[in-house]
Amino acid sequence: IQSTIMLNNGTVIPQVGLGVFQTPDGETTVNAVETALATGYRHIDTAMIYGNEASVGEGIRRSGVPRGDIFLTTKLWNDDIRARRTKEAFQESLDRLGVDYVDLYLIHWPVDGWHEAWDAMQEIYASGRAKAIGVSNFQKHHIDELLAGSDVKPAVDQIESSPQFTNQQLIDDLTGLGIATEAWSPLGGTGGNLLSDPELARIGAEYGKSAAQVVIRWHIQRGIVVLPKSTHAERIRQNFDVFDFELSDADMKAINALETGRRNGADPDNFDF
Ligand code: A2P
């Protein structure tokens, strides 16, 4: 049985979702989404900039799983934030996805214009076309600034987190504020070496699980949402087979110790896109 988390507005979110960053548009994305939904996933995380919203929508329709059973997230891209065209961009995302609402709409990065975007997103939320709204790649200081200027708390902050860059202080801060954390690059990202770490293999052997399954389970037991990405059906299935074992405290600590302090992706305080 998959686990869920309740967001601060009462919305329930499945803890494991399929991420589709760098999943090519077309049949690759359609198949990944269809495979995930057939496996039991009920949470898909995309973004305008991933360029595959239409294929995500197609995969959902082909799966036959009712729209209402699926938690669907997309994100507002930086160019649209800077151009102050949140509502237009949101409608374009709905049209590409072929849905009349999303479960979660996120500000993708804290670029110039995000304050106005947050105001517009509150109107979208009030209209019912996004069941929850939140942010991504916001540091503590961005969150503090947002909360100082708004009565509406983001439901989530989607940030980089993996055993190599746990981001634990930010997660603790968000938890203290009642904001749920979602982890991107949860397996260390494309081209990373995390999954070949012998420590993860050793731990996996205790439970009969792979390194990826151990890492996904570690995220679940930290109480956050985890968004593993794969284009391979076998891995998509494997990454969801994580609800029948529990890592010991000692193993959780051993995984925490893989921290390097180095990000895999962009630094939210210093990026240029
Ligand atoms: P692929 O899509 O070729 O399966 P993250 O989710 O941290 O961004 O990491 C995803 C990376 O890990 C991708 O390169 C993905 O490759 C790979 N990956 C995903 N699931 C597994 C798995 N179960 N075993 C090995 N590699 C995986």
pLDDT one-digit tens code per residue, 145-180: 999 999 899 999 999 999 999 999 999 999 999 999
CATH number for the domain spanning 131: value is 3.20.20.100
C-alpha distance from residue 121 to each of 61, 158, 232 (Å): 26, 16, 34
Pairing relationship of beta strands 180-184 and 156-160 according to DSSP bridges: parallel
User: What pLDDT is attached to residue 99?
Assistant: 98
Domain presence at residue 270: no
Does ipTM exceed 0.90?
yes
Report, as an integer, the average pLDDT of 121-134. 98
In the chain, the number of structural domains is 1
DSSP state of 154: P
Distance between Cα 80 and ligand 1 center (Å): 29
Domain presence at residue 268: no
Ligand 1 atom with the shortest distance to the CA of 191: 14
Domain presence at residue 273: no
Domain presence at residue 215: yes
Domain presence at residue 262: no
Q: Quick check: CB of 195 below 6 Å from ligand 1? A: yes
* Domain housing 186: 4-256
Q: Is the pLDDT of residue 225 over 90?
A: yes
Supply the mean pLDDT for the chain: 97
Q: Quick check: CB of 139 below 6 Å from ligand 1? A: no
Q: Is the pLDDT of residue 1 over 90?
A: no
Task: Determine the distance from the C-alpha atom of residue 108 to the mean position of all C-alpha atoms in its chain, rounded to a whole number.
Answer: 11
Q: Quick check: CB of 19 below 6 Å from ligand 1? A: yes
105 is catalytic: no
Q: What is the pLDDT of residues 184-206, one digit of tens each?
A: 999 998 877 999 999 999 999 99
Binding residue per annotation — 108? yes
Q: Quick check: CB of 238 below 6 Å from ligand 1? A: yes
Domain presence at residue 17: yes
Q: Is the pLDDT of residue 81 over 90?
A: yes
Domain presence at residue 71: yes
Q: Is the pLDDT of residue 133 over 90?
A: yes
Separation between Cα atoms, residue 71 and residue 104, nearest integer Å: 8
Count the Cβ atoms, other than its own, within 10 Å of residue 191: 6
Per DSSP, which regions of the chain are E strands?
A: 4-6, 12-14, 18-19, 43-45, 71-76, 104-107, 133-136, 156-160, 180-184, 225-226
Distance between Cα 186 and ligand 1 center (Å): 9
Separation between Cα atoms, residue 44 and residue 42, nearest integer Å: 7
